[in-house]
Structures are given as structure tokens and as C-alpha cells.
Amino acid sequence: MKEKMLKYLCCPECSSNIELARHKGIDSTNHITEGELVCTGCKNTYPIISGVPFFCLNTDDKTVDLNRKNFASEWNYFTSSMGDKNEQLAKDELESYFSPFVQFKDLEDKSVLEGGCGGGRLVYAAAKYSGAKEIIGVDLSNAVITAFKNTRHLPNVSIIQADITNLPFKKDKMFDFIYSVGVLHHMPNPYLGFSSLVEHLKKDGKILAWVYGKEGNSLYINFADPIRKLITSRFPFKVNLYLSCFISLIVWGIILGFYSPLNLILKEKNTNKVLPFNEYFNYFRKRGFKDFWRTVFDKMVPTISYYISHEEFKTWFEKSNLEYETYFRNGHSWTGIGKSAVGLSRDSDLQQHGFKTTYK
């Protein structure tokens, strides 16, 4: 943790300022790696562990607790380090989430928050390629320690452990851009997570969210997701690791042996109409087997997974009083971007300012 972070942070319980109570020195990258923060109001203390301040060590919800432990195991395994290949995959993936709404250059000199940073892959890419002034990655799981390890050398990155629905930031709206990809649909109340992030958005700032779509996922929702909910989310890490690898190898063979030839013969735009998950599989065919394996694992381990319809997704932005656009990504998920709509009427003014209520 960089000492300068204190000017942004407050106690998540009472919103009072927090101070650095003790620490064991500052390392060569200007981080405090071990120490303790204390609230000036309620006197709660928050430890700094392996470079990361922890604001939510415990949760009484066993489902949420298992969820964050499962995801920590995933990210600590699949993103234990950021080599050249992982860096390129992370950059390409983040660009695909941002497209068609945001480019890296749009974040230059901006204050950015990633809601749910996991092991730090995407915050690494955003920091390295955007020129953002400050990027803060937040996650509930202890994968934040991996995220810190992967990003500690980047001067514009800070990592904290906290609950998205109870963020330890001062009430000043401090972020120019907030993004959360693949996280909100794994929360007990996805909209609550979204609206909590919006609270920290500057007046002219933008928020981007990516979620699983109900549209395009009926086969998975009806046949595979019940198995995830009742069985695989409760399996030990290594069981899911080997099982997901086995399943991935089978599906990968189908992708290469069946989907790929048909795409060559019929062309992708035609194949999308007749083959389920064709856009999705083509996306991962270009990224490689290991990334596909990670995604299969990612589908098996959550204790909480929601599939959000387009209509529900749009209400998140409307209830938060945001102008917005939405985009149907890879035939199975929704990306949306919004900004403050204070003082604007819903239709004509939105179009006048370059926003549409839907984007398909």
C-alpha cells in the first residue's frame, strides 16, 4: 500500500478518516507491505497484509465466503504471474470488454477504479496501456495479494481488499472511469454492487459493466448451471481443476474438429445463426486452450451466478439515473456504459448527446 492512498480512504463502518497506526517500513517500490490502519472515529483497525490493506476480513454469509475462496483459488492459480503471453491475453481481453465504447487512450490522466480485480490481470493491462493517472483495483477475495504482486512495480496502481457494496472511499466522487467485468453477476445482489460503484463516479465520469446475459445462454442455464449450483461449486479446488480440464479438452476437440471447419465453409456470420455458442467459441479459439480452460473452471466454481436479461440490465442504468448504451457481446453477454444523466430527459436528450437506449 502506498501511503498516499490515505487521502482517498475512510472507514467503511463509520466513514471517518483512517490513519496509519504502525508499519514495518517502506519497500523499494514505495509500498508499505505490513502494518495497520486505524479509524479516527470508531477505532476499528484494518491490517496491511503483503502490501494490501484489508477492510473486510470476515463475512457471516457462508455462500459468499465460499464464493470468494473459490475465486481466490482460481485467480491465484491461473494468474500467479504476468509473463508476456498473459499480458497480451489480458490486454486483448480488456479491449474486447471495452469495445465498442472505450479505448485505452480515453483513460489517459484519469482516475480509474476496477470493481473486482481478482488476480490483477485486467488492472495490469489498464495501467500499462492507458496512461491513467491512478488505478485502484478492489476485490473481496485474497487474490488481491496476487494482484499486488503482479502490479506492485506499476506506479499508477493500488490494490485494496474490500466489499464492493461497502467501499472504504471518502464520499468525494473521485473516479473518472469505473469498470467491472465478470463480477457483479456473482454478487448476492448484482444491482446493489453496481449502484455502490456509481456512488463513487464523478459527475462527468463513466461506468462500464459486463455481465452474463440471459439471452444466448438458455442451454447452459437449463442444463449445466444446476450442476454448478448443486455440485461443482462445493468441490475442492483440485477436483474442479482436473474436472474442468477434462471437460475443456472434450469441448476444445469439438471446437477444432466441428465448429472451425463449418465456420470456414459457411462463414462465421452464417454459422452464428445455426450453431449455439459459435461467437463465444470462436473468441476462445483465437485466445488458446489454457484461457478456455480457465473460463470453464470459472463457470464451475461460483456459489452465486446470475444471468441478467437485457431489460434488467438496462434498469440498472436507469435507476442510477445514467445515460447509457448496451452491447450484446459474443452472443451471450451484455456490456453497458453509462454516465450521469442529471437534468436530461430520457429519449430526445439522450440521442442529442450521442447515446442510445439499446445497442445490438
Write the pLDDT tens digit of every residue in 160-211.
999 999 999 998 889 999 999 999 999 999 999 999 999 999 999 999 999 9
Both 128 and 185 in a single domain? yes
Higher-pLDDT residue of 24, 144: 144
Both 28 and 66 in a single domain? no
User: What b/e string do you get for 67-102 counting C-beta neighbours within 10 Å, with b at 16 or more?
Assistant: bbbbbbbbbbbbbeebeeebbebbbebbeebbeebb
Both 99 and 184 in a single domain? yes
pLDDT at 226 over 70: yes
Count: domains in the chain = 3
Query: 217-221: long-range contacts (C-beta < 8 A, 24 or more apart)?
Result: 217/307, 217/332, 219/276, 219/277, 220/299, 221/307
Dist CA 164 CA 180 (whole Å)? 10
pLDDT, tens digit, 9 for 90 and up, residues 3-47 = 999 999 999 999 999 999 999 989 999 999 999 999 999 999 999
71-100 mean pLDDT: 93
Q: Which residues, including other chains, have CB under 8 Å from residue 176's CB and lie 6 or more apart?
A: 107, 110, 111, 112, 202, 204, 205, 206
Both 4 and 68 in a single domain? no
pLDDT, residue 342, reads 54
The residue to which cell 470508531 is assigned: 42
CATH code, domain with 347:
3.40.50.150
Both 164 and 247 in a single domain? no
Both 131 and 205 in a single domain? yes
Both 137 and 274 in a single domain? no
Domain span at residue 124 reads: 56-217+307-360
**Of the candidates 40, 1, 42, which has an alpha carbon nearest to the alpha carbon of residue 19?**
40
Dist CA 119 CA 250 (whole Å)? 27
pLDDT band of residue 334 (cuts 50, 70, 90) is: very high
Tell me what percent of the residues of the chain surpass a pLDDT of 90: 89
Q: Which residues, including other chains, have CB under 8 Å from residue 311's CB and lie 6 or more apart?
A: none
pLDDT band of residue 341 (cuts 50, 70, 90) is: low
Rounded to a whole number of angstroms, the CA Rg of the chain reads 21
234-248 mean pLDDT: 97
